[in-house]
Structure 1
Amino acid sequence: MSPSRTYEHPDTDDITIHRVLFALSEPLRLNMVRMLAERGEVDSIELGPDLPRSTLTHHTSLLRESGVVFVRAEGRKCMIRLRTDDLETRFPGLVDTVLAGHGEDDA
């Protein structure tokens, strides 16, 4: 049996505002974050079922590397969730504010 995949994540103290804002600046990633905020942990494929696998991997990797999400392997699945507590510790209210503003843009 092959070893389980592992993913590197920045420590809470290493999450920076410019990386988080960059990650949230792209509409596709922002929609992914909105879905995670609403649904909790999901299989990453649910974040973009119509996207090419390489595109999905690129965007979820960027979200992970910026500290916005936590990714873990579960068998063949790649489970992903928002790092709500860590983001709230570093930047209180940021994700809620960005998501609220994104909703206004859609109206």
Structure 2
Amino acid sequence: MAPSRAYIHPETDEISLPRVLFALSEPLRLAMVQKLAADGEVDSIDLGPDLPRSTLTHHTSLLRESGVAFVRAEGRKCLISLRRDDLNARFPGVLDSVLAGAQE
């Protein structure tokens, strides 16, 4: 049996505001984060069903590396969720403010 994929995530205290804001500044990634906020944990395919796999991987990796999203493997699926608690611990209200501003 093949080993499960392991993803590296920054620790909560390593999440930086510039990286979070950069990750949220791109419209496609912001739309992905909005879907995660609305739906909870989703399969990565559901974040961009019409995107090429390489584009989807690039954007979800950037969300993971910035500390915005948590990624875990489950079988052949790649499940993604928001790190809302970690982001609120580091930067209270920032995620909610960005999401509220994106609704306008």
**What amino acid is the match of 2:44?**
S
The count of corresponding residues between Structure 1 and Structure 2 is 104
Q: What's 2:60 paired with?
A: 60
Q: What's 1:42 paired with?
A: 42
> C-alpha distance in 1, partners of 2:95/2:31?
12
Q: What's 1:9 paired with?
A: 9
Offset from partner CA, 1:24-63 (integer Å, 9 cap, x none): 0000000000000000000000000000000000000000
Structural RMSD (CA): 0.4
Offset from partner CA, 1:51-91 (integer Å, 9 cap, x none): 00000000000000000000000000000000010000000
TM-score (ref. length: structure 2): 0.99
Q: What's 2:86 paired with?
A: 86
- Runs of at least 4 residues off by over 4 Å: none
Unaligned runs of 5+ in 2: none
> C-alpha distance in 1, partners of 2:35/2:90?
21
Identity of aligned pairs, percent?
Answer: 76
Q: What's 1:28 paired with?
A: 28
TM-score (ref. length: structure 1): 0.96
> C-alpha distance in 1, partners of 2:93/2:32?
18
Secondary structure (helix, strand or coil) at the match of 1:8 reads: coil
